Every structure is written in C-alpha cells, then in structure tokens.
Amino acid sequence: MNCHRAIKVGSTYGTAELTKIFASVGYDPSTDKYIPNYEDLSKDEIEQVYKKWISDIYITDKGTLDPMGERTINEQWDGIVEALTDKKTRDFKIQGPIEWVRIHNLPDHAYFNHAQHVSVGKLECQTCHGPVEAMEVVKQYSPLSMGWCINCHRQTAVKFTENPYYQSYAKFHKEIAKGERDKVTVEEIGGLECQKCHY
Ligand code: HEC
Ligand code: HEC
Ligand code: HEC
C-alpha cells in the first residue's frame, strides 16, 4: 500500500474508488495498517471500519456530519459491497479481489504480447487503447482485428538500431549505414508471418 498511503482520496471520486481497494485487502486507511485476521471479520465489522474512514473525510469543522455526508457514506458503502461481493457465485464476502471485468479479448488462436510492443517497441498505451486517462468507463478503442495488427506492422518501424536483437540483420544495417534506408518496419523483420501471431 505504499502508493495509497500518500494518496487516499481521489480527485474525481473522493474516497469511493480507493476505499474499494482498501476494503478488498483489509487495509485500514485511518491507522495505516493492515487489519489483523481480516479474513475472519464479519461484514458488519468491516462496514464499521470503512464507514468510519469515509465519514472522517466528510465531517464538518463543527465535528458533525451534514445530511449530505450521511448519504454519501451510505452510497459509497453500498457501492463497495456491490463491487466486492459476487451475486453470481453467491460469494457475499467483502474480503478478496475486486472482480476484473474483461472487455478486450483476442481469440485463443492469436498471440499478443504487451512486452514486445511496450518495452521493446516503445509504443504508448494510448496508441492502441486510446485516451484511457479520460475514459469514465474503459471501452475498447481499437478493432483488435487481424487487419489492424497487420496494418500497423506494415507502417511502423521497429527500434532497429537500439535493439541488439536486430544485430543479425546485416543487410538492413548496411543500407542504413549507406543512407539507403532510414527505418526498418515490423513487416520487414517478419511481422506479417502467420506463425508470429498464430501457433
Ligand atoms: C500500433 C502499432 C501496432 C499494432 C496495432 C500491433 N503491433 Fe505488433 N508490433 C508493433 C511493433 C512496433 C513491433 C516491433 C517491436 C520491436 O521489436 O521494436 C511489433 C511486434 C510484434 C510481434 C513480434 C514480431 C517479430 O517478428 O518478432 C508480434 C508477434 C506482434 N507484434 C503481434 C501483434 C498482434 C497479434 C497485434 C494485433 C492484436 C499487433 N501486433 C498489433 C506494432 C504494432
Ligand atoms: C500494440 C497495441 C497495444 C499497446 C501499445 C498496448 N496494448 Fe494493452 N492490449 C492490446 C491488445 C491487443 C489487448 C488484448 C489482448 C488479449 O486479449 O489477449 C490488450 C489488453 C490490455 C488489457 C486487458 C484489458 C481487458 O479488457 O481486460 C490491459 C489492462 C492493457 N491492455 C493495458 C495496457 C497498458 C497499461 C499499456 C501501456 C503500458 C498497453 N496496454 C499497451 C494492445 C495494446
Ligand atoms: C500481426 C499478427 C497477425 C499475423 C501476422 C497474422 N494474423 Fe491472423 N489473426 C490475427 C488476429 C489478432 C486475429 C483475430 C482477429 C479477430 O478476432 O477479429 C487473426 C485471425 C485469423 C484467422 C481467423 C479469422 C476468423 O474469422 O476468425 C485466420 C484464419 C487467420 N488469422 C489466418 C492468418 C494467416 C493465414 C496468416 C498469414 C498469412 C495470418 N493470419 C497472419 C493476427 C495475425
């Protein structure tokens, strides 16, 4: 919880989203400690801990809660319960992971690796995912079709000179040295070969 020790209240959602994370793992933001034996706590006990934390944020200078504050606390707690309990599997425990709602899903026969694109290719997340930082609810931005992959591989250059992996492409290195080419595309290093993306 090193990140969320410094930031406990979000700029847009206040305590709502971060308290969800705290409640899922049993971190008490009021004391900056993980709650011992969190697994064994009842829902009511957990509710007390986090409603106290939320109410402390909304308390007025006079030390009282205004009616808006009262409503906010209950709404936030209801949202947290909603996000952390699973009606389908009838798992009504607050403790445990937040459900991951998957929206991007390539078929099993296609292979995609983020490290290849982000660490090696130095592409920005936004190139493929769009302006996620401005999305209220994340949605799929690119078609994720084969044509989309192929198109980009035709147009985009690999980090050819920086990457030792491409040392063996002597012909391209010679052409670059002679000034006959200024880049090598993903296509030219084999990025359109079927077996690169399909097993
Ligand atoms: C926005 C451009 C872009 C899109 C879209 C894209 N790629 Fe790539 N891809 C790259 C770049 C750039 C590299 C090369 C990185 C490097 O080595 O510098 C690469 C490399 C690869 C490689 C390794 C190729 C090799 O010869 O080693 C695979 C496999 C791959 N991509 C699969 C995919 C799949 C599958 C998709 C679609 C789901 C996709 N890519 C979409 C830009 C893209
Ligand atoms: C070259 C395009 C490309 C780039 C760049 C890229 N992604 Fe992705 N991302 C994809 C594709 C394609 C999938 C779907 C993979 C699958 O279904 O196997 C995906 C899936 C995801 C998912 C899963 C989403 C879900 O619905 O569950 C997350 C999270 C994600 N990417 C985060 C990132 C982050 C963070 C970055 C930047 C550090 C990034 N991606 C950069 C193409 C890209
Ligand atoms: C750069 C990555 C990449 C390369 C190279 C590539 N594919 Fe694909 N292919 C994909 C992705 C991603 C999908 C899934 C697209 C989707 O779900 O819309 C796909 C889907 C397919 C499908 C299924 C189509 C369908 O309607 O479900 C076939 C068949 C296929 N590819 C054959 C090939 C053949 C043959 C080659 C070589 C000539 C090839 N692919 C090269 C990424 C690639």
Between CA 14 and CA 72 the distance in angstroms is 10
Domain tally for the chain?
2
Residue 28 lies in a domain: yes
Residue 58 lies in a domain: yes
CB-hemisphere CA count at 13 Å for 50? 36
Residue 172 lies in a domain: yes
Supply the residue whose CA is at minimum distance from atom 16 of ligand 3.
145
Residue 54 lies in a domain: yes
Residue 52 lies in a domain: yes
* 71 lies in the same domain as 135: no
Give me ligand 1 centre to Cα 188, in Å.
12
Give me ligand 3 centre to Cα 148, in Å.
10
Between CA 91 and CA 72 the distance in angstroms is 25
Residue 106 lies in a domain: no
Give me ligand 2 centre to Cα 118, in Å.
9
* Claim: this prediction has a pTM higher than 0.85: no
Report whether pLDDT(115) > 80: yes
Give me ligand 2 centre to Cα 130, in Å.
11
Q: Is 110 in the pocket of ligand 3 (CB under 6 A)?
A: yes
* 120 lies in the same domain as 191: yes
Confidence band of 6 (pLDDT split at 50, 70, 90): low
Between CA 53 and CA 30 the distance in angstroms is 6
Domain-terminating residue out of 29, 62, 84? 84
Q: Domain range spanning residue 127?
A: 114-197
The candidate with the shortest Cα–Cα distance to 24, out of 102, 73, 90, 83, is 83
Between CA 47 and CA 41 the distance in angstroms is 10
Confidence band of 87 (pLDDT split at 50, 70, 90): confident
* 78 lies in the same domain as 125: no
Domain-terminating residue out of 66, 84, 102? 84
Structural contact between residues 81 and 73, judged by C-beta atoms closer than 8 angstroms = no
* 75 lies in the same domain as 126: no
Task: Name the packing angle between helices 43-58 and 16-25 (round to 10°).
Answer: 150
* 76 lies in the same domain as 120: no
Confidence band of 2 (pLDDT split at 50, 70, 90): low
Residues in the ligand 2 pocket, defined by CB under 6 Å: 102-106, 112, 114, 117-118, 123, 125, 127-129, 144
Q: Point out the ligand nearest to the CA of residue 145.
A: 3
Report whether pLDDT(101) > 90: no
Supply the residue whose CA is at minimum distance from atom 7 of ligand 1.
149
Which pair of structure tokens corresponds to residue 109? 């026969």
88-105 exposure pattern, b = at least 16 Cβ within 10 A, e = fewer: eeeeeebbeeeeeeeeee
